[in-house]
Chain A
Amino acid sequence: GENVEQHPSTLSVQEGDSAVIKCTYSDSASNYFPWYKQELGKRPQLIIDIRSNVGEKKDQRIAVTLNKTAKHFSLHITETQPEDSAVYFCAASKYDYKLSFGAGTTVTVRA
């Protein structure tokens, strides 16, 4: 099955700086790559996603890039704010609509 690796496991950034989380996947047939944010004690919620026919997607301060050749994708958060502190999960799926999740990155934004 699909194997998704996520790095780093923890990330501490100064408020206003950028944060980058990277994921690699194993199955070249994967074509959908969502990112979920989970605040403490809350449910995971989709923040952005990208499909394999697109190389980059942006939504305000967050962006995702995809390199199909290298089988990796990344989440970029610019101008980080305290409310960006959370656990972020990347995931990948194929036509079967099953998501395989990375282990998560705990992001802490220091004031």
Chain B
Amino acid sequence: DADVTQTPRNRITKTGKRIMLECSQTKGHDRMYWYRQDPGLGLQLIYYSFDVKDINKGEISDGYSVSRQAQAKFSLSLESAIPNQTALYFCATSDSGSQETQYFGPGTRLLVL
């Protein structure tokens, strides 16, 4: 599903570094989400945005921040990365005008050393 893209796909960084993960979508959806996936823990919601001026914390927002630059773009930042932020990160989108189906991007695999 090339409608939701994430960059980079893989990233290795060091403790204390600032890193930004980017998500873009061409689906025209107004809602966007950032999730973190760890083995055995499923998908945990970090932040979500229902439109450009709306930003909300999810279950595990500590240590993360987001920016909704446009309806099609939603970025996740780690201001000072730490090793336990090593995980697989997914962006997702949904359309408020129809069903609540969320469409996921391909994921970004992040390793913090």
Binding site for B on A (CB under 8 A): 1, 6, 9, 32, 34, 42-46, 49, 89, 93, 97-104
Is A43 a contact of B43 with CB atoms below 8 Å? no
Q: Which of B6-51 contact A (CB under 8 A)?
A: 31, 40-45, 48, 50
Is A32 a contact of B105 with CB atoms below 8 Å? no
Is B40 a contact of A43 with CB atoms below 8 Å? no
Is B101 a contact of A49 with CB atoms below 8 Å? yes
Binding site for A on B (CB under 8 A): 1, 31, 40-45, 48, 50, 58-59, 90, 94, 96, 99-107
Q: Which of A42, A99, A100, A102 sits near B102, CB closer than 8 Å?
A: A99
Q: Which residues of A lie under 8 Å from residue B43 when comparing CB positions?
A: 44, 89, 99, 101
The 15 listed contacts between A and B (C-beta, < 8 Å) are A34-B100, A42-B106, A43-B1, A43-B104, A43-B105, A45-B104, A46-B102, A49-B99, A97-B31, A97-B94, A99-B43, A100-B45, A101-B42, A101-B43, A101-B44
Q: Which of A34, A44, A103 sits near B90, CB closer than 8 Å?
A: A44
Q: Which residues of B lie under 8 Å from residue A6 when comparing CB positions?
A: 42
State how many angstroms separate the Cβ of A23 from the closest Cβ of chain B. 11
Apart from A43-B105, A97-B96, what are 6 other A-B pairs with CB-CB below 8 Å?
Answer: A34-B101, A46-B102, A89-B42, A89-B43, A93-B100, A97-B100
